[in-house]
A and B are shown apart, each in its own frame.
Chain A
Amino acid sequence: MTTAILIKSLRDRRRALIGNSLGLVALVLWLGALFPILRDNQGFTDIMERVPPEMLSAFGTDLATFLTAAGFLSAEFFALFAPLLILIFVISAMVAETATEERDGLMDMVLSNPVSRRRVFLEKAGGVAAAALLMVAVITVALLAANPVFELDLPVAGVVAAGLSLWLLGTSFGAVALLIGAFTGRSATAGGMAGFLALLAWFVTSFSGLLPWLEGAGAVSPFTWYREPNPLIAGFGAGHLWLLLTTVVLLGVAVLLFDRRDIATERAALPDIKIRRRARSRVRQPRAAWLLTDPFRKVIWDRRRSVWAWGGGLGLLSLAMFSAWPALAQDADALAALVTSMPREVFVMFGLTNPEAIVTPAGFVSSRSHQSIGPIVVIFFCVRGVSMALVRQEGSGVLDLVLAQPSSRSRVVASKLAAVALAAGLVVLIPTVVALLADRWWETELGIGPILAASAGLYLLGLFFGGLALLLWAVKGTSLPAVRIAGIAALATFLMNGLGALADGLRPIRLVSPFYWYFGDNPPLAKGFEPSYFLLLAGTVAMAWVAVVLFRRRDTSV
């Protein structure tokens, strides 16, 4: 007998593993480098002293702790970013190895070999867990290396304990995903439910200090075991054992369930009760029949969940930024002092070429919702929309079926594109409405005009990169990784905008960056509809037009 399944499961993680590890190491090093600067900065300490203790407790820390390297890293890294990445990694990988393979019929193939179900399941889970452990090891090593360089004074045992705690948190929710997948055999359910439970646990732990009715629930949340007491300071504790126990028990139950269940595949579907109920009524209308009449409506229908998820997320972000402003406004002077004392390059590199603006409400809200997270989300949505509606459909051969219908190619592409654009518009509309309401509620007095103009610019920025992905796809089809190139182009032009602002000699490279056309040197919320926005619009229209023309005479591939 071999461990071929475990090795394959581990091997198939290598790309995600490298990407995630690089990102996390970069973050650890950046935070490590930033901490000495912040610690020695009086403005920063002044601000932190005025932050309500409840808010700090939401990040699992308090003031005295936060001002130590261990506390700072816990709050900035171990409280949110590290668990977020590792949970996404472990949950999606666990689901991909089990429920998704089952759906695709691959589990049938694997199980036709003389290996027990138990063994298949455990090896697959083991491969993912090993990958996560590698990821955690890389972070731990990076932290241990940063420790002397930046004089962080982290206890070595604490670093190792925090790493292991992170790993066990990942395996716990990975086991949740496995359990739900083993019970239902549905990958979307398994991933979605595990993700939701992780979010719930994070919420419960973060706010159990603030909301008395959550106190009892806080004790049984894996996030509480994960970070209280803080392993980076306290080292190994009972939390590790609880997490380990959770993982082992859930995994055990999952194996038992999987051992006895019918293996379901889409290829040899198990008709369930739902299907038969539908079969009773003679003619069955598909869900939302009115939405499935043409490619345009089909794309809207396919994107409906993403629209709510991403638009809702941006709405919440907008709400958070507006609601945080009044508290910060009271400390505007300290905030300004902090901004001036910080190395200007840090802000500029991230597109905030006018850091002083951050002490105005427009600058503060823009910094997140229009100059960092907002553009990331909207660009991601547009590029992914193009990918799902066209690139992937060509790859799977569905596009050939659509094109076999009696309507012209340009019409099909144009209507799909219009649908993606409409969906993206809805994603931007949700935070815009939130911003309009919040602007009145918190009396930030940004005005309707600038808010609408900033949203329009954000929308056009997203469409621009969606258009780029479309163009790349139209030129070379599925043989070119259009989506990845569009993503890299977005990142590159974003950095170009920052670099161009840093050094005068590099200024020209800014001018070709769509981010410059949008950001300029003033926060989007502080200005109206800029003429440069027309560049975004013109660029998008031109790329879409060329794409449609090119696609009309291109061979389709499967």
Chain B
Amino acid sequence: MSDAIETRGLTKYYGEAAGIVDLDLAVEVGEVFGFIGPNGAGKTTTIRLLLNFLQPTRGSGTVFGMDMTADSVAIRSRVGYLPGDLALYPSMTGREFLLYFSRLRGIDTAAATTRLAERFELDLDRRIKEYSKGNRQKVGLVNAFMHEPELLILDEPTGGLDPLMQQEFATLLREVRAEGRTVFLSSHYLPEVERIADRVGIVRQGHLIAVDTLDGFRTKIQSNLSVEFARPADPSGFAGLRGVISVEAHDDGRLLRLSVSGPQDAVIRAAADAGAIAIHTQEADLDDVFLSYYGPGDTESGSGG
């Protein structure tokens, strides 16, 4: 069975500015894939390429084994899409809009629409121009989910949603995954990705720089360990151990702070031998992962959308 999304050397230049360069990406069927990177890194470019809004400069891609460009209509019938900056017809009501779009799909989604609207506590009978930002986003979400697509392509999906609705959205994504459907989730809001993604790809300045599971990332980057001792310990005994980047002694050596990358077994063994009474691990979250790939001050560079 082919991947939900697969791209080979996918590249898009805008004139000389790079949108995305040589993207090799594989998203498996049934997973939630988080696509993260700062503004302008190439997330939206990638998504708009997948939907054939943009013509690739070179390279190719498939969705469910179908060619991104040639079979776009067939692909779009199996995809639900939520753009990063949602546009809706302002003079239509939410219901009219969803009815119009279900007709463009040629299917009846009335039941699903009502169910989703209830779930998101959305009043469908008001004009879109009267909706708050959050309610507009809900219309966009209902539109993306109403035809129960096999693949959801969501660009910054929770913008404007309150925490309760973000929770509801995460629950919905878990259900989607449980049904074996696939989610491609682009975001720079990391807690959202952390909550739900199985695997994460990090994109920077048009290049995909790393793909891994969240746990995989965690073990790759450094964690911070605080080790307490009953009596002062010698910091130099830890400095040379495998994975240790730095050691700081506090409290006359009764407390050592260590930065460790990779497996921590050597440190733990040495600490036990030296008479440690407690070890506190501050586990890396996605923010740390993200920041380890982007030095400070690097987050707003790059070009393309």
Give B152 Cβ to nearest chain A Cβ, in Å.
11
Identify the stretch in A47-55, A104-112, A167-175 within 8 Å (CB) of chain B at 4 or more residues.
A104-112
Residues 311-353 of chain A: 1 if any B CB is under 8 Å from the residue's CB, otherwise 0? Answer: 0000000000000000000000000000000000000000000
Knowing A105-B83, A114-B74 touch, does A269 contact B305 (C-beta < 8 A)?
Answer: yes
A116 at the interface (CB under 8 A from B): yes
Which B residue sits closest to A120, measured CB to CB?
B104
A84 contacts chain B at the CB level, 8 A cutoff: no
Interface size class of A (residues with CB under 8 A): 20 to 34
For B72, the chain A residues whose CB sits under 8 A away are: 116
A108 touches B74 (CB 8 A): no
Question: Chain A residue with minimal CB distance to B129?
Answer: A395
* Complex contact B14–A263 (CB within 8 A): no
Check A271–B53 contact: CB distance below 8 A. no
Minimum Cβ distance to chain B for residue A292 (Å):
24
| Chain B: interface size category | 35 or more
What residues of chain B lie closer than 8 Å to A116, measured between beta carbons? Answer: 72-73
Q: How far is the CA of A262 from the CA of B12 in the complex (A)?
A: 11
CB distance from B148 to the nearest CB of A (A): 14
Q: Which of B251-305 contact A (CB under 8 A)?
A: 303-305
Q: Is the CB of B105 within 8 A of A113?
A: yes
Interface pick from B84-92, B118-126, B164-172, B189-197:
B84-92
Q: In the complex, what residues of A have CB within 8 A of residue B101's CB? A: 109, 113
Tell whether, in the assembled complex, residue B51 and residue A112 are in contact, meaning their CB atoms are under 8 Å apart: yes
Judge if B163 is at the interface, Cβ distance under 8 Å.
no
**CB–CB A272/B14 < 8 A:** yes
B35 CB → nearest A CB, Å: 15
Q: Which residues of A contact B86 (CB under 8 A)?
A: 105, 109
Q: Judge whether B145 is part of the interface by a CB distance below 8 angstroms.
A: no
- Residue B48 at the chain A interface, CB threshold 8 Å: yes
A108 partner residues in chain B, CB cutoff 8 A? 48, 51, 53, 83, 87
Cβ–Cβ contact B16 & A276, under 8 A: yes
When C-beta atoms are compared, the residue in chain B nearest to A109 turns out to be B87
Complex: how many Å from CA A109 to CA B143?
10
Is the pair B104, A5 in contact by a Cβ cutoff of 8 Å? yes
**A8-B100, A271-B303 as given contacts; A115 in contact with B73, CB under 8 Å:** yes
Chain B residues within 8 Å of A, Cβ to Cβ: 14-17, 44-45, 48, 51-55, 72-74, 76-77, 79, 81, 83-89, 100-101, 103-106, 143, 303-305
Pull 17 A–B residue pairs with CB atoms less than 8 Å apart, ordered by A: A109-B88, A109-B101, A111-B51, A114-B73, A114-B74, A114-B105, A114-B106, A115-B104, A116-B72, A260-B55, A262-B55, A263-B53, A263-B54, A268-B45, A269-B305, A270-B305, A271-B303
Closest 9 CB pairs of A and B: A105-B87, A114-B77, A267-B85, A4-B103, A113-B104, A112-B81, A263-B53, A273-B15, A114-B76
